[in-house]
Structures are given as C-alpha cells and as structure tokens.
C-alpha cells in the first residue's frame, strides 16, 4: 500500500482513538486536560506531538486496571508483567485486541516464510508472560503446527525437536544458544540432525554478531521479533531481508524522540521509541515511552512493504549504565565481544564503586578453543578484549576470564549486568 494511503488510515484512526480515550478513560481525560489538549485539536499526524506522553509508571500508578477503557466483562484475557523492575503491570484484552495481536504476528510470520507445513516449537514461557501465547496464536493463524513446549526443560526441547521435526523455534536467543550447547554435549547437532530452519528470537536485546554466530553454528535463519506486554506482547519481526523490524502502520504509530527533551527526532536519528496503539480497545496507549533505543527507517523495504521499520533495538533507556559520566549500553559490549572469535557467548558486566570511582569489569568465560597453557597468551587475550572495549566505549574496562560454565545461564531474559554501586 502506498505510504500516503497508510497515512490516511493512520490519521483517521488517530483522531478516532483520541476521541475514544477521552470519552472512556478517566486517566486520559485528566492527562489531556492537564496538557490543554482537546480531541478536536488532533486532525493530522503532525498534531501527534501535541499529545502528552504515557509512561510505564502510569501503568503502575493505576494498577491494576485504572487505564482500561472497557468494563471488565468485555475482557477475554489478562496478562501480567513479571514486575522485575517494580510493581507488575496488568494488560487486559478484548476479543478484538487478541485478534489484532494475532493478525500482527501472522503478518510477521508470513513475512519470514513461516506457514502451513511448518512445525513451530514455542520455547517462550506460557502463562502471564505474553511470549508463549502470542507466538502460539500467530503460528496457528498462518496454518503452522504449534509445539507448545514453553521455556525450560532443555533436554526435552531437543528430543522433541528431533522426534517431531520442528522447523521453527521461537525463544530468547540466549536460550537457543544454550540449547545448542546442551545438544552438542549430548552429541546432537541442530544443524545436521534436525529440520530446524528458522528462529524467531526476542524478549531480550541481541546483536548482529550474535545472529551470525547462531546462523553459522546451527544452520538456521535467525529473525528478530519485537514487542512488549504493554502493547499486547510480541508483535513485529523482520522480513526475509533481515533489515529492520516492520511496524504495521495501520495498527501502530511510531516516533523516535530525544529521551532527555521529549522532542521528536527526524527519521534516521537514534533515540527513544514512542508508540501509539491505533487499534486497541481495552488498553490503548497514547505516545507510550517504551524505553527502547532505536532508529526509524521509512524507506520502502526490498520486500516491497511500505510499513516503516525500526532498526535492531540495541538497548533500553533503563539499561543504560552511566560509568564515570559516560553512557554505556550492554548491547555495545556484547557487539564488541561477539566480534572476537575466541570469546564465547557468556559474559557478565560487573560495575563497582571503588574509592568514589566507577569500575567496570567484564567477565568472560574461557572456551576450550581459546585456552592456551601459556599465561602470556591468556593475558594477551584479556588485553585484546580490554582494548577493543576501550576503543568503543571510551572508558577503561577490566577484563577477567573465568571458568567455563561459571556464569549464570538463563532460560528467559539473559542477565548481563551486576551493578554493585549503592547510588
């Protein structure tokens, strides 16, 4: 569809949405009134910036259902976030919300060639977390067969992958690498002994280098999936060209802003992603500060789709570490490490404050391939990693090689940072 037509749809839906929330939500009416905005002021997409932002803290402050626009009897489901970074947030869904969510993922799966004949092994957690059920519904919608293993139980995952011939895996990229490690130890090669051909990986930031590593070691095509529970769950993926995540413009409106000033940034500039839901009923979100750092690309994709793309999300505003006044994203560190062939997948960033100074240490697991019994060789590897990190981050980083298997493994989101500073 031409961009102009998509924009017409967006304008109509945006103006309907603003009227809808003003009528149905006490929260938004108050917000709009405080900002001095009337629904009638929002006529074109250019007026978007007049609307106030919505924050994750708003969902917490109105816990559990204070942001809902429909009475509870119209809901067909709740999902609840884990609350690892504070009070949990609750999202309610009408039947239509579930349908829109399913359609979004079905489009995404179609764009990577997943459909009838595929067996989709869902290794995201099922339950209050949206990952499992989201991938499940999307895969069923495109006619694929779903194998709902949920997360964990790694030996079983590998056994079922072989016995039932799963062709697609949906889980976190770190968990898939862990599966690969476990299956190799058991003498099973995902590349040669299974039908696995596509991975749908997300729920944690990962890098281009990690993609290369996954694709080379397991022989699958690895695609990035994006979404968050507040917006329904996982919603968008890259297409076959693996060049940015397509955001369905008829359902969601995106902008990138400067996180410090809140000003919209031109396309192509890196900033915080802000999303407005155009098709949600139970809990629409207006200019939601999702907290992810990315870049928007509105050029037509090689696949022919005109829906805008966001580039790979490399970090979150909240994950940003400030080390001696310099902003550091764990994703930057991962990108550096993945470029060094002797370094394995497992690492941990440890930040301490020693004598009033921030000290950052990166622990990396020794691999069988990198091990030399000469002390000098190991110290040379440490200083090679350290100087590559310094080159990119502009701060001194102490690198420490640790024994293999000694860093925590994760079945869900990988924990990469331990911040011991008492700030």
Partner 1 sequence: MEDKIIKQISLFAENKPGRLANIASNFRKSGINIRAFTIAEAGDFGIIRMVVDRPDDAHEVLHSAGFTVSETNVLGIEMEDVPGGLGKIADVLGEKNINIDYAYAFVTKTEKALLILRVNDIEGAILVLQGEGIKLIDMADIQQI
Query: Quick one: which of 51, 59, 144, 401 contacts partner 1 (CB under 8 A)?
Result: 401
The answer to whether 310 contacts partner 1 (rule: CB under 8 A) is no
Q: What is the CA radius of gyration of the chain?
A: 22
Decide whether 260 or 375 has the Cβ nearer to partner 1: 375
368 binds partner 1 (CB under 8 A): yes
Least CB distance from residue 376 to partner 1, whole Å? 9
Please report whether residue 155 would count as binding partner 1 according to CB under 8 A: no
Under rule CB under 8 A, residue 366 binds partner 1:
yes
The least distance separating partner 1 from the CB of residue 293, rounded to whole angstroms, comes to 33
Identify the residue among 117, 373, 391, 423 touching partner 1 (CB under 8 A).
373
Question: Could you say whether residue 402 binds partner 1 (CB under 8 A)?
Answer: yes
Q: What track of x and - describes contact with partner 1 for positions 404 through 423 (by CB under 8 A)?
A: xxx-----------------
Identify which of residues 74 and 367 has a Cβ nearer to partner 1 in the complex. 367
Q: Is 191 in the site for partner 1 (CB under 8 A)?
A: no
Piece of the chain touching partner 1 by CB under 8 A; list 90-98, 187-195, 196-204, 402-410: 402-410
Which region, judged by CB under 8 A, interacts with partner 1, from 50-58, 132-140, 245-253, 399-407? 399-407
**Least distance (Å) between residue 354 CB and partner 1:** 15
Nearer to partner 1, 256 or 366 (CB): 366
β-bridge mates for residue 122, sequence order: 170
Q: Does 378 bind partner 1 (CB under 8 A)?
A: yes
Q: Does the protein bind partner 1 through residue 356 (CB under 8 A)?
A: no
> d(Cα 305, Cα 299) in Å, to the nearest integer?
9
Could you say whether residue 379 binds partner 1 (CB under 8 A)? yes
Total of residues contacting partner 1 (CB under 8 A): 17
Q: Closer to partner 1 by CB, 394 or 406: give it.
A: 406
Instruction: Specify the residue, 44 or 406, whose C-beta has the smaller distance to partner 1.
Output: 406
- Closest distance between partner 1 and the C-beta of residue 180, in Å? 17
Tokens of 325: 């006044």
Q: Is 354 among the residues that bind partner 1 (CB under 8 A)?
A: no
C-beta closer to partner 1: residue 24 or 398: 398
* Nearest residue (CB) to partner 1, 141 versus 365: 365
Only one of the segments 73-81, 190-198, 316-324, 360-368 lies at the binding site for partner 1 (rule: CB under 8 A); that segment is 360-368
SS (H, E, C) the chain: CCHHHHHHHHHHHHHHHHHHHHHHCHHHHHHHHHHCCCHHHCCCHHHHHHCCCECHHHHHHCCCCCCCCCCHHHCCEEEECCCCCCCCCEEEECHHHHHHHHHHHHHHHHHCCCCCCCEEEECCCCCCCHHHHHHHHHHHHCCCEEECCCCCCHHHHHHHHHHHCCCEEEECHHHHHHHHHHHHHCCCCHHHHCCCCEEEECCCCCCHHHHHHHHHHHCCEEEEEEEEHHHCEEEEEECCCCCCEECCCCCEEEEEECCCCCCECCCCCCEEEEEEECCCCCCCCCCEEEEEEECEECCCCCCCCCCCEECCCCEECCCCEEECCEEECHHHHHHHHHCCCCCCCCEEEEEEEECCEEEEEEEEECCCCCCCCCHHHHHHHHHHHHHHHHHHHCCCEEEEEECCCCCCCCCCCCCCEEECCCC
Number of Cβ within a 10 Å radius of residue 389: 23
* Inter-residue contact 29 to 19 (CB < 8 Å): no
Report the residue number, 50 or 409, with the smaller CB distance to partner 1. 409
What is the rounded distance in angstroms from the CA atom of residue 117 to the CA atom of residue 18?
Answer: 42
Question: Nearer to partner 1 by C-beta: 34 or 403?
Answer: 403
Q: Choose between 5 and 377: whose C-beta lies nearer to partner 1.
A: 377
Per CB under 8 A, residues contacting partner 1 are 366-368, 371-375, 378-379, 400-406
């Amino acid at each position: 569809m031409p961009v102009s037509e998509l924009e017409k749809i967006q304008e109509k839906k945006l103006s309907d949405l603003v009227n809808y929330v003003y009528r149905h939500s006490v929260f938004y009416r108050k917000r709009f009134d405080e900002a001095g905005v009337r629904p009638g002021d929002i006529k074109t997409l250019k007026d978007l910036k007049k609307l106030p932002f919505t924050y994750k803290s708003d969902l917490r402050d109105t816990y559990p259902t204070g942001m809902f626009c429909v009475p509870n009897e119209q809901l067909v489901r709740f999902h609840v976030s884990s609350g690892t970074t504070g009070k949990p947030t609750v999202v309610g869904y009408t039947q239509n919300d579930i349908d829109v969510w399913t359609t979004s993922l079905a489009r995404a799966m179609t764009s990577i060639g997943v459909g009838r004949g595929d067996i989709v092994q869902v290794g995201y957690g099922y339950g209050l977390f949206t990952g499992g059920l989201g991938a499940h519904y999307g895969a069923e919608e495109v006619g694929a067969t779903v194998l709902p293993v949920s997360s964990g139980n790694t030996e079983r995952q590998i056994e079922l992958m072989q016995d039932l011939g799963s062709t697609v895996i949906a889980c976190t990229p770190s968990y898939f690498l862990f599966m690969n490690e476990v299956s190799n130890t058991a003498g099973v090669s995902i590349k040669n002994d299974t039908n696995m051909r596509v991975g749908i990986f997300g729920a944690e930031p990962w890098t281009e280098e990690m993609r290369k590593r996954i694709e080379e070691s397991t022989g699958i095509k690895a695609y990035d999936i994006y979404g968050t529970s507040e917006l329904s769950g996982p919603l968008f993926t890259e297409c076959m060209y693996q060049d940015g995540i397509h955001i369905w413009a008829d359902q969601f409106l995106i902008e990138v802003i400067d996180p410090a000033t809140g000003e919209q940034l031109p396309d192509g500039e890196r900033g915080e992603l802000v999303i407005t839901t155009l098709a949600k009923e139970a809990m629409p979100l207006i200019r939601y500060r999702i907290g992810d750092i990315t870049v928007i690309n509105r050029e037509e994709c090689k696949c022919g789709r005109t829906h805008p793309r966001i580039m790979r999300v490399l970090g979150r505003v909240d994950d940003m570490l400030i080390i001696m006044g310099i902003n550091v994203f764990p994703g930057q560190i991962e990108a550096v490490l993945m470029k060094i062939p002797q370094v394995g997948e497992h690492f941990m960033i440890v930040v301490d404050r020693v004598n009033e100074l921030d000290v950052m240490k990166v622990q990396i697991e020794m691999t069988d391939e990198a091990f030399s019994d000469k002390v000098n060789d190991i110290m040379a590897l440490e200083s090679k990693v350290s100087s590559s990190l310094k080159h990119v981050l502009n701060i001194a980083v102490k690198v420490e090689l640790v024994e293999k298997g000694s860093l925590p493994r994760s079945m869900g989101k990988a924990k990469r940072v331990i911040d011991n500073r008492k700030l």
